[in-house]
Amino acid sequence: MAEETVRAIRHGEVDSVLVAGKEGSQVFTLDGAEHAYRVLIESMNEGALMLTADKMILFANQCFARLVQCPLEQVIGSSFRRFLSADDLTALRQMIKQSGSSGAKIQALLKAGNGSNIVVQISIRPLAKSGSDRATIGVVVTDMTEVRRTEEMLRALSHRVVQAQETERGRVARELHDHITQLLCAILVRSQTLADNLTARGPARREALKLRALLGQAAEEVERISRDLRPSVLAELGLSLVLRDTSTKFAARTGVSVKLAGAQLTARLPAAMELALYRIFQEALKNVEQHAHAQHVTVRLTKSGDSVQLVITDDGVGFDPAQSSGKGNSPAGLGLLSMRERATYVGGAVEIKSIHRAGTAIAVRIPLPPGPWAAHGVDL
């Protein structure tokens, strides 16, 4: 009998359904459920449901039945609660109360008939009241398994890209230090010898001295780039000291004031976490130098609960984060994308707030692994 009822509902042969519930029997009409509409619902690659207010399933398509691995005749007439955990059911109730007429979405674990859990997105929308003057709820259930798998693959690929990038940076840094810097130093010595052998106060000597000064600046710049590419001092001194050293050199080179404050950890952070925070810090300073036109930068490193937070704030011109979200090919967008990828690599996240002509704040929060990560709040 149940199979015949399901077949009749699916083929539009039924105008109403009598459902026994807590408040007695209720009649639900299937307004607008013509045969063509039902064919369309059945052709969907997503689960489609119609629920009563107390979560009774009035209608379900075959896609939902396949998703939960239950015969359709056992799905229709049963409670939607059987497919959700207690926590997800509570979240669903709250969402139904707050959804209004516009609908809402949540992600949940759907319990299948074979005992497995399926990651899904549940979208709900209140429908017109039925003939019994009882409101019904339309539900679309989307299987997120492939989406999650794709996200995990992209995340793994991103991590490999970050690792490859660090390896290549280290190689370039070694090449610069072992070859270019040494070559520039040799030329610098030869230029000094040339200047010493020229007559005093002559134009040739003055040019030689200018050449020597330029070579010295070039050697310092190459050495700076080499240090930025491979911060070996990070492994030796730790994050706090490197932030201070980098800030001092940045302020001296650009004229932008940098103030550091926050917590000093009593134990070193994991190397991957320190490197991620340092690279994000570098990228933030780069944006300040190239785009923000700021006069002051504040850097705060703090420990809050079981996470570490790094916040870089400037008083620059600001920008629209929505237009520089990393989806485009602009340098600023790629820089923000790099920050997010760095944070994601170590399980963290980046939050960016910026107001036009009112500055930018970049907050990085990374969870700490178990360990002695005590901190005391002093200036870095």
DSSP string for residues in 202-216: -HHHHHHHHHHHHHH
Confidence label for 296 from pLDDT (cuts 50, 70 and 90): very high
Most confident of 86-90, 309-313, 365-369: 309-313
**CATH code at 270?**
3.30.565.10
d(CA 375, CA 368): 12
Query: How high is the pLDDT of residue 159?
Result: 75
What percent of the chain is predicted at pLDDT more than 70?
79
pLDDT band at 43 (very low <50, low <70, confident <90, very high): confident
Confidence label for 2 from pLDDT (cuts 50, 70 and 90): very low
Question: Are 28 and 105 within one domain?
Answer: yes
- On whether the CB atoms of residues 361 and 224 are closer than 8 A, the answer is no
- The pLDDT assigned to 337 comes to 84
pLDDT of residue 12: 47
**Domain match, 258 and 118 both:** no
The DSSP call for residue 369 is P
Distance of CA 268 to the CA centre of its chain: 25
Q: Mean pLDDT score of the chain, rounded to an integer?
A: 80
* Same domain flag for 300 and 362: yes
Q: Note whether 25 and 137 are same-domain residues.
A: yes
Beta partners for 29? 16
Cα-based distances in Å from 169 to 142, 148, 227: 42, 31, 10
Task: Identify whether residues 377 and 287 lie together within a single domain.
Answer: yes
Looking at the predicted structure, is the pLDDT value of residue 352 above 80? yes
Give the per-residue pLDDT at 186. Answer: 87
- Mean pLDDT throughout 157-180? 81
Q: What is the dihedral of CA 337, 340, 342, 348, to 10 degrees?
A: -170
Closest alpha carbon to 230 in 176, 161, 277, 160: 176
- Co-location of 36 and 171 in the same domain: no
Selection from 183, 191, 196, 186 nearest residue 213 by Cα? 191
145-175 and 203-229 helices, crossing angle to 10°: 150
Q: pLDDT value at position 8? A: 53
Identify whether residues 211 and 153 lie together within a single domain. yes
End-to-end CA distance of the chain: give it in Å, rounded.
76
Say yes or no to pLDDT of 246 above 80: yes
Least confidently predicted of 105-114, 222-231, 235-244: 222-231
Looking at the structure, tell me whether residues 34 and 103 fall in a common domain.
yes
CA-CA distances (angstroms) from residue 30 to 10, 49, 241? 11, 13, 70
Q: How many domains does the chain have?
A: 3
Structure tokens at 98: 């707050």
Tens-place pLDDT, residues 201-218:
778 888 888 888 888 888
Measure the CA angle with vertex 263, ends 257 and 265; round to 5°: 130
290 and 192, same structural domain? no
Environment class of 166 (CB within 10 Å of its CB; exposed 0-12, middle 13-18, buried 19+) = middle
Name which of 18-27, 286-295, 369-378 the model is least confident about.
Answer: 18-27
* 304 and 380 co-located in one domain: yes
Residue 174 shares a structural domain with residue 290: no
Query: By mean pLDDT, which of 106-115, 225-234, 254-263, 301-310 is the weakest?
Result: 225-234
Domain boundary, last residue among 143, 174, 204: 143
351 versus 135: which is more confidently predicted?
351
Are 368 and 247 within one domain? yes
Q: Which of 108, 143, 178 is the last residue of a domain?
A: 143
Domain boundary among 91, 111, 143: 143
DSSP lists the bridge partners of residue 57 as 51
Q: What is the CATH number of the domain that holds 116?
A: 3.30.450.20
CA within 13 Å, CB half, 355: 3
Write down the pTM of the prediction: 0.58
* Domain assignment of residue 126, given as a range: 2-143
